[in-house]
Amino acid sequence: LNNQNQKLYEKVAGQILGQIQLGVLPLGKKVPSIRVFSRQLNVSLSTVIHAYQILENQNVLQSRPQSGYYVNAAAPLSDHEPRKVKEFPNFSKIPVKKIDMEVPHVISAFSDPENLVLSLSYPALEVLSFNALKKSLNRGIERQGMQGLKYAFPLGNPALRIQIARHYLDCGLTLSPDDLYLTNGCLESVLLAVNAVAQAGDTIAVESPVFAGLLMTINSMRMKALAIPLDPRQGMDLDSLKKAMRRHRIKAVLCTPNFNNPMGCLMPDDNKKQLVEMLAERNIALIENDIYGDMYLGESRPKPAKVYDKTGNVVLCSSFSKSLAAGPRVGWIAAGKYHSKAVGYKFMVNVGANPATEEGLAQFLENGHYKRHLRKLRKFLTEQLPHFTLAIEKYFPEGTKYSRPAGGSNLWIEFPKEVDSSKLHREAWAKKIIIWAGPLYSFSPKARNCSILQFGHRWSERIGQALKIVGDLAKKQIVNRSS
């Protein structure tokens, strides 16, 4: 090849890399075929082939026989991504008081409907076929009739449990409907799970950063959370977990292998298997939060770690709150060998869940609406992500890093060191913009300049303006600090 050609294929490789960096082509996604890409870019087939090969050699793309090229889910990190926090000093445990203090603060941020909440993930309702859901829910009320007005005892509506068990079959998880019981959402499932496997004073290992609600749940039970670093490509760092297990008596591990909130990273299957096996050997329970599992940006639904569970030691928790709608408050738990303890606790807390709503959702799933909705939702999320990453590139201070999610709808933002994200949170709130600060989600001192951003809303001018305001506030902090 002559020099000019060489430059062209390198340029094309650079363009593809740029699209991966911005999330236009997210991790795990199939890239356009060589033919389509050559047409789009108006370059020869051999140029595209060469570009793909370069990226394959750099482990950025993976070729799969008879299928094409995919963005490698383990693609090497770019300089613009947050790194794994190496280690927490003495494996820090959550300061209980601090989390307690945050709760009223969080509630008041959500209470004002005028606030634009940029950090809370919930499904974009414009994607939802409201009529189909309304019909299903109405049918649920009709079908249940007067029965629906009585206490519903655990385990919850059998038709919905059958549908959820069926849904998991698609990703290789076999559950009997009687392994499942229904809850008022994933946080309640986690609450039941921690209570079934541990007691006040026990230590639960969690990945860090992690959704603050999980820390609050552990905290509310007067248990201690122990921080395990999160690897942006591998999820919970298993070497660190092993080290922590040698030093501490850990009662359970709470983990979100499929798209941790806030990083959106996907734990590889081998790691999931290793995690399940090593915890089973030590009789340490694994509480798996799979709430984002259906929201993959790649090509296929990742397996839950529970697929590898041979001993009933994995407690699977999830809900429809992120993938369909949060308002109905319907979640579930498959607690394995802790089943009867968790059921007992559920009975004690609120007897059972919502029979008519559950019946309605069973209808929604049975008629194929949920699957259709998920296809639309994933397409929607894939379309929204680049709007947010482009806004970060455009409005946030130079040197700002952000995670590359393989799924879910959250981003972890790392501002330059001069930015105090708690101050940024307060300043943005004064302008009715809610962007949570890293210290709510992490105990690492490095989270001081981090924030959480949600990309699951439909992009709008209002969101763009809000991100510009956040960016300007961050830049002002940098100027003030360096002057």
| Footprint of ligand PLP (CB under 6 A) | 121, 185-187, 211, 213, 256, 261, 289, 291, 319, 321, 326, 331
3-state secondary structure 22-73: CCCCCCCCECCCHHHHHHHHCCCHHHHHHHHHHHHHCCCEEEECCCEEEECC
Nearer to ligand PLP, 154 or 257 (CB): 257
Beta-carbon-side half-sphere exposure of residue 5 (alpha carbons within 13 Å): 9
Nearer to ligand PLP, 319 or 354 (CB): 319
Nearer to ligand PLP, 8 or 120 (CB): 120
Closest separation in Å from C-beta 406 to ligand PLP? 15
Nearer to ligand PLP, 213 or 344 (CB): 213
Question: What are the E-state strand segments in 290-441?
Answer: 314-319, 331-334, 401-402, 410-414, 433-434
Nearer to ligand PLP, 186 or 230 (CB): 186
Closest separation in Å from C-beta 148 to ligand PLP? 21
Closest separation in Å from C-beta 319 to ligand PLP? 3
* 3-state helix vs strand vs coil in the chain, percent to 5: 50, 15, 35
Rounded Cα–Cα distance for residues 136 and 372 (Å):
14
Looking at the DSSP bridge assignments, the partners of residue 180 are 334
Closest separation in Å from C-beta 161 to ligand PLP? 17
Nearer to ligand PLP, 127 or 325 (CB): 325
Nearer to ligand PLP, 207 or 309 (CB): 207
Q: Where are the alpha helices (DSSP H) in 198-326?
A: 212-220, 238-247, 269-282
Within 8 A by CB and 6+ apart from 387, the residues are 455, 459, 464
Q: How far is CA 254 from the centre of its chain?
A: 14
Closest separation in Å from C-beta 193 to ligand PLP? 12
Amino acid at 344: G
Nearer to ligand PLP, 121 or 444 (CB): 121
Contact between residue 421 and residue 439 where contact means Cβ atoms under 8 Å apart? yes
Question: What are the E-state strand segments in 66-127?
Answer: 68-71, 116-117
Nearer to ligand PLP, 231 or 290 (CB): 290
Nearer to ligand PLP, 264 or 397 (CB): 264
Element housing 373 (H / E)? helix 369-395
Rounded Cα–Cα distance for residues 323 and 21 (Å):
25
Closest separation in Å from C-beta 343 to ligand PLP? 18
Closest separation in Å from C-beta 66 to ligand PLP? 36
Closest separation in Å from C-beta 454 to ligand PLP? 9
Closest separation in Å from C-beta 194 to ligand PLP? 13
Rounded Cα–Cα distance for residues 41 and 52 (Å):
14
Q: Is 131 helix (H, G, I), strand (E, B) or coil?
A: helix
Nearer to ligand PLP, 257 or 471 (CB): 257
- Show contacts of 92-98: CB within 8 Å, 24+ apart: 92/226, 92/227, 92/443, 92/444, 93/203, 93/224, 93/225, 93/226, 93/227, 93/443, 94/215, 94/218, 94/219, 94/224, 94/225, 94/227, 94/443, 95/443, 96/219, 96/222, 96/224
Closest separation in Å from C-beta 398 to ligand PLP? 30
Beta-carbon-side half-sphere exposure of residue 39 (alpha carbons within 13 Å): 4
Closest separation in Å from C-beta 211 to ligand PLP? 4
Structure tokens at 262: 């806030």
Q: Which residue is nearest to ligand PLP (CB)?
A: 185
